[in-house]
Amino acid sequence: MCRLFGFRSAVPAAVHPALVTEKNSLVIQSREHKDGWGIAAYGAEPRPKVAHGVGPAHSDPDFHRVSSLVSSHTVVAHVRLASVGAVELRNSHPFLYGRWSFVHNGTLKNFEQHRPALESLIRPELRTNIRGTTDSERCFHIFLTRLEARGAIEGPMRAEDVATALAETMGLVSALTDAPGQERSAMNFLVTNGEVMVATRRNRTLFISEGRRSTSCHQARLRHGTQLDQLLIASEALCGNHTAWNEISEEEIIGVNGDLVLHRWRISELAIVS
């Protein structure tokens, strides 16, 4: 298992509280999820600046240094608890391809048994980009393969197209790895190209927030079509300053385009092509 965090904002903003100083920040979560960390931040350049580490984020000065410096309109962060793949830099999230960064909270069931079949779902030219040994990196490249079928990966992309490619990835993967009567593969994915940001929930918790303060950690459901100034996505609600959070439903996909209008889909609502 791992923990993930995503941030999209109309204007650049600091993410140090969510990563370090919140009551339930990623630093706190890294005491359990201690097998590496990564932060991708988007600025003036199309591709993100990325920092990775292989130790626990809570005891790594580089994580604290990078977290304190990041002020961006789009950030993705991750702390890892290794389940598939050794604790190595090449296995630390986020995984990158061009403008795209990707993190995963979850584990594919019986990954090694199904690895050849999973890799066969990846376009050969994309498969050469794989560097590590994790199930997560394979899921990322299956997603890229499905996304590329909908248009140029480096071109403009709608949140709905990204959501559909993620849903197709989940369907293809679960068809290979899931067995009747057994626990399902967990596939909480979060992906962004700096403008579009989309996340899925399957067999792990996931929360979103618009960053507003509240007397309670919880808020009413954020509706599809809501115009946001900020979107925060996290595996666990970060409640130290009473920011209000909304839990995402199982088998739900959420996302925003560059205009920061919230979109919510049930997987069954998307036009999935197998």
Residue 122 included in any domain: yes
The number of residues making up the chain comes to 274
Q: Name residues of the chain where pLDDT drops below 50.
A: none
Strands 246-247 and 207-209, by their bridges, are: antiparallel
Question: Which pLDDT score is estimated for 135?
Answer: 95
Residue 274 included in any domain: no
Residue 245 included in any domain: yes
Residue 115 included in any domain: yes
CATH number at residue 21: 3.60.20.10
Number of independent structural domains in the chain: 1
Domain hosting residue 116, numbered range: 2-269
How far is Cα 75 from Cα 62, in angstroms, rounded to an integer? Answer: 17
> Encoding tokens for residue 207?
């929360």
How far is Cα 139 from Cα 25, in angstroms, rounded to an integer? Answer: 26
Q: What is the pLDDT of residues 201-252, one digit of tens each?
A: 999 999 999 987 776 777 778 999 999 999 999 998 877 666 789 999 999 9
